[in-house]
Chains A and B, each alone.
Chain A
Amino acid sequence: MKSAVLVFPGINRERDMARAFREVTGVEPIMVWHTETELPDVDVVAVPGGFSYGDYLRCGAIAARSPIIPALRAHAAAGRHVLGVCNGFQILTETGLLPGALMRNASLRFVCKEVRLRVDNAATAFTSAYAPGQVIRCPIAHGEGNYFADPETLAELEGEGRVVFRYCDAEGRITEAANPNGAVDGIAGIVNAAGNVLGMMPHPENLIEALQGGLDGRGIFESLARAA
């Protein structure tokens, strides 16, 4: 599987993302600078985490207007895969490739910890390596991960099974205590209507080796490799 990782000024988890692709698929991804206007011929484009443009104006808002974005749209429109993690998810909502918005955490504080996620749709190209309803561990590290969308959009997402990950407790229950940021209905990750663009706040790329404390994040990359 061939992959590319977009790099905007202020992005800081591009190396983590690159390592995950390398470790799981054995192929080094191509790093693409934001001023490029064309993407290499790859199966997956990852939009990694960080603080693009220092989160100035609004998280992801400036990056969403970068020269590379039309090429990203074309990649998505062609049905190829796009994975947005953390700031990447924020950027994807700002481009309109994914619906909804990510607001300030309900606690008003940045939070970095390990949470549990329930895989609510294991039939996507990003999650086929997981079992439906499986509870996985995954780190989070964000200040603005509080997912929100209007009722119509939420109904659409739920009706089409597009909520892929939800924050849950060890038993897979969606509770307030297990929700680290106040996201509506515990939503941690969603796909677009075509199912080829995933945005998620947690960082699967930081849990792919035993040394990091677990392998639960590998499934995303294994699924993508399988889909390619």
Chain B
Amino acid sequence: MLKNDIAITPELIKAHGLKPDEYQRILDLIGREPTWTELGIFSAMWNEHCSYKSSKKWLKQLPTKGARVLIGPGENAGVVDIGDGQAVVFKMESHNHPSYIEPYQGATTGVGGILRDVFTMGARPIAAMNALRFGAPDHPKTRHIVAGVVAGVGGYGNSFGVPTVGGEVEFHPRYNGNCLVNAFAAGLLKTDEIFLSEAKGVGMPVVYLGSKTGRDGMGGATMASAEFDDDSHEKRPTVQVGDPFAEKLLLEASLELMASGAVIAIQDMGAAGLTCSAVEMGAKGNLGLTLNLDKVPTREPGMTAYEMMLSESQERMLMVLHPHLEEKAEAIFRKWGLDFAIVGETTDTLRFVVEHHGQVMADLPIKDLGDQAPEYDRPWVEPKRQPVLAAADVPAPQDYGRALLDLVGSPNQSSRRWVWEQYDHLIQGNTVQRPGGDAAVVRVERPNGGHAKGLAFTCDVTPRYVEADPYEGGKQAIAESWRNLSAVGALPIAVTDNLNFGNPERPEIIGQFVHALKGVGEACIALDMPIVSGNVSLYNETNGEAILPTPAIGAVGLMDDVTRTIGVALAADGDVLVLIGDTTGWLGQSSYLYELHGREEGAPPPVDLAAEKRHGDFVRAAVIDGRVTAAHDLSSGGLLVGVAEMAMAGAKGARLLLPETEVPLHAFLFGEDQARYVVTAAPEDASRLIVDAAMAGVPATAIGAVGGDSLTLGGLLTVSIDALSQRHESWMPNWMSAA
């Protein structure tokens, strides 16, 4: 029986985020009162963030398998085969709660965490993205949070040396009390050099590597598993502090160590630090593990076992090494100036034992810490769906030119250049499609020479759609990522999901979650994009108000020949603009309705997955075959905004024809019907393309031609590209510099 210096009171249990029935479960499991350290370990393992206790039931239903999937959810990141003995490793993860409390450090450590997840698998990171969502631009905290988060994302990624090639930035009042910082990273490895967290062999040394352990980030994962209130700023000490310099050294040292053959298993110390990484390595390998905390490198003296087990200090790794290669391993870490300490060993007892100053501070059944975590089937209710909104119920603009300028210059449609110019998106010299287009494209050289491949990356979700209809909104997030990848010529191969929702103890929130996941899952199956990794962030609520349901999708596409990719920019005068897909003029939940009329009404556009597949396959083939000169997915803002974006990117005008359609003109121009693209092609190519589209069952219509220095539509609209660009580019810098 371990003795307790600190009484385990109901208050202490509550402070650890454990419910009375969960504490009873602990008593039943271990047959005695836990020590304070053990209570901390349970709270770290059983919080929502680490245990997925409210979401597991639904996550299990997602499609995670596919011909290319080498490793699906459950490891640090998913691994997908891209041929030539190479694989792409990727994941997206949230750092919402810390970023709201301390924007700069919250964002940096979010980026650091996801990069570590990728290189822990043995992959060198090649691309990063960020899906960021902030409160209303006129909310007093928003500007401060945007400035801190963007600087933090850049501060870490730039120094680490990974190109940040894409992402999303959106504003909505429902994020006033909870910003979302979802960081994506992808890396490249050889398929026969994948490293896992499963420990193997009894009596093997468990080695601590990287930075020292301090008192920062104590209980961070538990903090992220609760709602916020007005005193949330008092949780600042739970936020970790990032050091990208240490991470860069850790990357190089880890990859060098892996190449040396010394590594049996590796796990990064992320959420719940030493506790989570040690338990995971042992439990996965069906082994016990003993830690001697006297050996753990610490930043300050006098740290208790409890503090060391719960610290979330960054840039740390735990490894199981081959005993005879310990010295070689240590030399590599010393070369990089990092700490290296043998802190324990694997055992055959299936116990997780923590010793400190010669005393046993914890002795727990290792498998039960993870396997026996509570799992809830939370009650849920059917989401209320918004009725379809008729185009006639949405006013047409008095002046189409002004409406277009207002829309491209609105908070959510304006250029994000102010953001991505703070991110080094060119480092590594492989960025082929830079930020600002549909998807980023990064060159991947084949190991044995030959023409280079490409990987394409995009982040997508339209939270307004998900709020209005979680099922269709979930489908749409996947469909949009499919379109963005297809438009640059890449075949979508897999996705990672970052599911951001409110308090799961509320039935309407779980209702959103269940339906959004159903939509996501169906779309993934229809478009053959398995989910290989992900993260769930719940409790995104402040004072009882939840965020918009935000299942952010990070999607990856593959190109056999990276030189075939094209962008959104109009390329040559005389090219014909061709609209791909059907336009019904769907204005419900549109950007036009929200940004110009302040209304969030109606059902979101329905997603026809078969049409998405057909149209996407057609456009991708046209891009790869060199039949089109530019391609752009149509999403928020609709057709007119899409064409304006192409015109601004190419600094070329376009003359659009008045459509021959029964759809009201404003609905035709601003509606957000799905499965649509605009492509451009030389006149003779365009004619053939339209014929071929008809054969393939893909609607395609010529809608105008490239030329001039203005965007025109019949006699109805004439806006110079300079004026468009000026409005498009100025909103964000002006807003950020306003006092």
Contact = CB atoms under 8 A, between A and B. Distances in A.
A148 to B, nearest CB: 22
A22 to B, nearest CB: 11
A205 interface: yes
Chain B CB within 10 A, most for which of A53, A56, A206: A206
A12 interface: yes
A53 B243 CA distance: 11
A77 B420 CA distance: 41
A203 B244 CA distance: 21
A141 B164 CA distance: 12
Interface string B434-455: 1000000001000000001000
20 contacts: A9-B245, A10-B159, A10-B249, A13-B161, A20-B429, A50-B161, A51-B248, A55-B245, A111-B421, A111-B422, A112-B158, A112-B420, A112-B421, A112-B423, A112-B426, A139-B426, A141-B426, A141-B427, A208-B429, A211-B432
A168 B301 CA distance: 54
A36 to B, nearest CB: 12
Interface in A36-81: 50-51, 53-56
Contacts, number: 82
Contacts of A50: 159, 161
Contacts of B154: 110
A77 B245 CA distance: 32
Interface in B164-223: none
Contact of A113 (B159, B244, B421, B431): B421
A109 B249 CA distance: 25
Contacts of A112: 158, 420-426
Contact of B244 (A20, A54, A143, A205): A54
Given A51-B159, A203-B426, A211 B245 contact: no
A15 interface: yes
Chain A, interface residues (CB within 8 Å), range: 20 to 34
Interface string B221-246: 00000000000000000000001111
B161 A211 contact: no
B431 A10 contact: no
B158 A110 contact: yes
B590 to A, nearest CB: 32
Interface in B318-343: 336-337
A55 B246 CA distance: 12
Nearest to B737: A107
A203 B426 CA distance: 10
Between B336, B426, B452, B562, the greatest number of chain A beta carbons within 10 A of the residue's beta carbon is seen for B426
A216 interface: no
Most buried by A among B161, B431, B562: B161
Nearest to A209: B429
B260 interface: no
A15 B428 contact: yes
Contacts of A209: 429
A76 to B, nearest CB: 27
Nearest to B251: A12
B245 A56 contact: yes
B151 interface: yes
Contacts of B420: 112
Interface in A184-228: 203, 205-206, 208-209, 211-213
A208 B443 CA distance: 14
A16 interface: yes
A19 interface: yes
Interface string A126-150: 0000000000000101010000000
A9 B249 CA distance: 7
A25 to B, nearest CB: 16
B563 interface: yes
